[in-house]
Structure 1
Amino acid sequence: MSIPAAAARPVVRHQRHDVGSRPFIVIWEVTRACQLACLHCRADAIKRRNPLELDASESRALLDSIASFPTPHPLVVLTGGDPFERPDLAELVRYGTGLGLSVSLSPSVTPNLTADRLHELRDAGARAVSLSLDGATALTHDGFRGIAGTFEQTLEAAQLVRESGFRLQVNSTVTRDNVHELPALLARVIDLGAALWSVFFLVPTGRGQQLRTLDADQVEDVLHWLADVSHVIAIKTTEAPHYRRVVLQRAAGRLTSERGPLYDELGRTTSVALHGMQLRQRAARPPIDVNAGRGFVFVDHQGKVYPSGFLPHIAGDVRAQDLVTIYRESPVFRALRSPELLRGKCGRCAFRELCGGSRSHAYAVTGDLLDSDPSCSYEPDDVDATTLSGTPTAP
């Protein structure tokens, strides 16, 4: 079976380079300080900056290292904690963009996020900002963030971000407690003028262990719903690489199971949530095949290197070794770039190279970063291996 000729747009994008040579993106936690106390915080953020975080000189050295990867250089996202807690943030952005790096920011919504600060960072060369919105109402979002009023402040911050000339991305973490709000949250995100909606599937690590993750069938339903709405806003998933499998199966007409009650509910409530909105139909944004350690690197505030911020398995330390060397030679990274090492049904799956499962979910639940992803309900089907072998993807 082949994909119809009408499917001209790529279904899934491949990284254009050797994934063993350079990452697609580097997320750098420039500080762990943050004034919020979010229930799902990966970092267990603290109120004050840690004196052991990378200083200005070490920070510049890290940016030099990132810029030494072959071109096109990895994308760089400065996160935290709250990166706006660093008084030298604009200097870091200016230094990084001066090296030819594309630098984005992921701040918390606190009094640090002001129009003046945003303009300073825009002038320094930053081009995109991501803000978190984890509920369609103040009750839900403020409950996540631990401080009343954060919801309204986030809506105001989104307007500031756009008025300052940044591309806006909205990040939302999905749990069992807010999953039913997704359609209303989608309407909010569209109304804010976001260019991209990044949906995070909760990994039980850090403070996130206090919250309830979706079960595998619910995850599958949400992924199919996201594919449905990807024609009204660009969608990205975090810690759900099986979204790539879902869009590929849908494009090939190879759905292997019925959708569940959550999918039906989300579909019904989406019609209500979007009623009356002026929506621009767009081609779906093809997901890219980036995974923990395979195109993705996380550097914490003290220079420890991880395959992902949600996978607490140290692969190296930039204070002791160059990031390029860590990425290319660390046994952890090399194992994660070897899909033949995956165990269980992930190891048997025809999509193991395209998807590979969430290594963070596997590690959080089983303690084995190469085990099957417990958040995926798909049972490997040998037929898919031949059915989908000719599916076009981006070069």
Structure 2
Amino acid sequence: MTSRAVGRWLLAGPAGTAAFLLAAEILRGPRTRRYLFTRVERRLRERLADPPVPPPWRARDRERTLLALGALRSLDRTLARGTLSPHVLRAIVRLWGRAGLVPNRATRSGRRFARHHGAPPPWFLVLAPTQACNLRCPDCYAEAGADVHLPWPVLDRVLAEARERWDARLVVLSGGEPLLYRSEGHDVLDLVARHRRFLYLMFTNGTLITPDVAHRLGKLGNLTPAISVEGGEGTTDRRRGAGTFRQIEQAMAHLRAHGVPFGISVTVTRDNVDEVLSESFLDLFFEQQGAFYGFLFHYMPIGRRPNLDRMLTPAERVELWRRSWDVVERRGIFLFDFWNSGPVVQGCLAAGREGGYLYIDWNGDVFPCVFVPYRGANVIEAFARGESLDDVWEAPLFSRLRGWQRSYGYGAPAPTRDGDWLRPCPMRDHHVELQGLLQDLPASASPLLDPELSTALDAFGAQLATLTTPIWREHYLSDNGRSYSRRRSSRSLSR
């Protein structure tokens, strides 16, 4: 056994738990935290200035370092405000520490999976346990609203197998509204309590986060809500309903009171692209409300009454790439763009690739991605046949998409000239190729997609390529891009 393997074994056991608890106590002390964070920041800035990797990887390494700095600053701000409870801090340090230091491909379950399937297992799952929702957003991608819930025994088994077979680390809860899930007397927080070894990220509209819910979340310690906003009060209420923004503000106050870290999730459209990432927007959510992180999702015209006119143009998407990295670099905010951050994660995360995920909805249908409306399998049907999540992972659609990911540069020794990870998405950016992968797979047919959308996506991908290919080859492969901002960050860690 190598020294690295011994270290991972120790971290996975009681010694690791003790070490993580000690680290949490160190972070609680202002002086020790300042000492530690200052030195970590210095090391990260040294890496930012001179990434210790070959040129094809340097721009990507720089972006990963910027995100690490953003996470460090977000944690520092939250601890300085006193809005992170000791119990939650201990859970975060323990679970994130193990997830980061002991990758699931290196565990016994991960190695066993790789021996049998020829590739490491997925790192996380996205679950939409219910289609029910108390809002009626006009163009919801999930077409939420119907009172449909994934049966509790199925949901429970999915998580048990994800842990046992894959040693998955993260469960993302979506919907519908996850807090409306009900089955056999259980709600979604019962699931979180039963499967405590996972980290949970819950995308929620926030309106159901009462003081009691926030109290339960604080006691659990292993779930962070990402609350959906569209911009400020006017923009959010126009899409989500009058009074929604005030309810969101109340939810954030409840979470702060119970020491629960939260973030925001934004669907970026042509209507709000200028407002999102404006200084007033950033001040509102990250300074005043204390959001820990932010996720950007570009509007995908699927689901309820899709509207192609709301989809970002290729030029707007490229400009959003520049602006989002400027924000991360200049303001020290952890901000992840599901499409534009493709280089950070080496392209598309769908179809259960290593580091990636599969998406399971309220009917048990399994999709490669939340935004790819083609069914590859169904867990209820698979379990009834005596199969497991491993068999679901092997479904032809998912296997073909993982093959496409490899052909597009994932897993290569270095980024490739034609594998532009600024265009990582087979659905939005390579729709012609996706249609080819779907040939002779009748189970993948979906009523959510129509010819008009297919034509629009074909044109979008072709135009986007003309804009991002030069950036990919000059900024990333040649490492000619050093900074996204004209101004260096003057913000420092708390003193």
State TM-score, norm by structure 1. Answer: 0.74
Q: Which residue of 2 aligns with 1:387?
A: 478
**Shift in Å, 1:297:** 1.5
Q: Which residue of 2 aligns with 1:323?
A: 389
For structure 2, list consecutive stretches of 5 or more residues without a partner in the other structure: 1-46, 53-57, 66-99, 106-113, 383-387, 410-414, 438-457, 483-495
Q: Which residue of 2 aligns with 1:213?
A: 311
Instruction: Please tell me whether residue 311 in structure 1 is matched to residue 362 in structure 2.
Output: no
Q: Which residue of 2 aligns with 1:166?
A: 260
Structure-1 separation of matches of 2:204 and 2:477: 44
| Contact 1:359/1:373, CA 8 A, preserved across alignment | no
Residue from 268, 288, 291 that aligns with 1:194: 291
- The range that moved more, 200-209 or 371-380, is 371-380
Instruction: Please tell me whether residue 336 in structure 1 is matched to residue 401 in structure 2.
Output: yes
Structure-1 separation of matches of 2:358 and 2:398: 9
1:3-55 deviations in whole A, cap 9, x for unaligned?
98633693355995479432222110010100101134111111x522xx321
| Contact 2:123/2:166, CA 8 A, preserved across alignment | no
Residue from 235, 238, 261 that aligns with 1:143: 238
Structure-1 separation of matches of 2:370 and 2:223: 22
Q: Which residue of 2 aligns with 1:268?
A: none
Q: Which residue of 2 aligns with 1:81?
A: 176
User: Percent identity among equivalent residues?
Assistant: 25
| Contact 1:204/1:364, CA 8 A, preserved across alignment | no
Residue from 120, 129, 148 that aligns with 2:225: 129
Structure-1 separation of matches of 2:124 and 2:348: 9
RMSD: 3.4
The aligned amino acid for 2:400 is A
Within 5 A, what are the aligned runs for 1:8-87?
A: 10-11=61-62, 17=105, 20-46=119-145, 48-50=146-148, 53-71=149-167, 73-87=168-182
The aligned amino acid for 2:381 is A
Q: CA distance change for structure 1 residues 115 and 358 in 2, over 3 Å: closer, same or farther? A: same
More helix by share: 2
1:80-133 deviations in whole A, cap 9, x for unaligned?
111111242221111121xx22223222233x3211022223324533111011
For structure 1, list consecutive stretches of 5 or more residues without a partner in the other structure: 246-285
Q: Which residue of 1 aligns with 2:361?
A: 300
Instruction: Please tell me whether residue 109 in structure 1 is matched to residue 203 in structure 2.
Output: no
User: Greater relative contact order (Cα 8 A, min sep 6): structure 1 or 2?
Assistant: 1
Count of residue pairs brought into register by the alignment: 332
Q: CA distance change for structure 1 residues 206 and 23 in 2, over 3 Å: closer, same or farther? A: same
Residue from 41, 44, 50 that aligns with 1:6: 50
Structure-2 separation of matches of 1:67 and 1:356: 31
State which structure, 1 or 2, has the greater radius of gyration over its C-alpha atoms: 2
The aligned amino acid for 1:222 is L
Structure-2 separation of matches of 1:289 and 1:156: 37
Structure-2 separation of matches of 1:68 and 1:24: 13
Secondary structure in structure 2 of the residue aligned to 1:167: coil
Within 5 A, what are the aligned runs for 1:363-378?
A: 368=435, 373=461, 375=464, 377-378=467-468
Q: CA distance change for structure 1 residues 108 and 362 in 2, over 3 Å: closer, same or farther? A: same
Residue from 215, 220, 239 that aligns with 1:119: 215
Residue from 349, 357, 360 that aligns with 1:291: 349
Q: CA distance change for structure 1 residues 180 and 356 in 2, over 3 Å: closer, same or farther? A: closer
**Shift in Å, 1:387:** 2.9
State TM-score, norm by structure 2. Answer: 0.60
| Contact 2:420/2:469, CA 8 A, preserved across alignment | no
1:260-312 deviations in whole A, cap 9, x for unaligned?
xxxxxxxxxxxxxxxxxxxxxxxxxx667552223121110111111111110
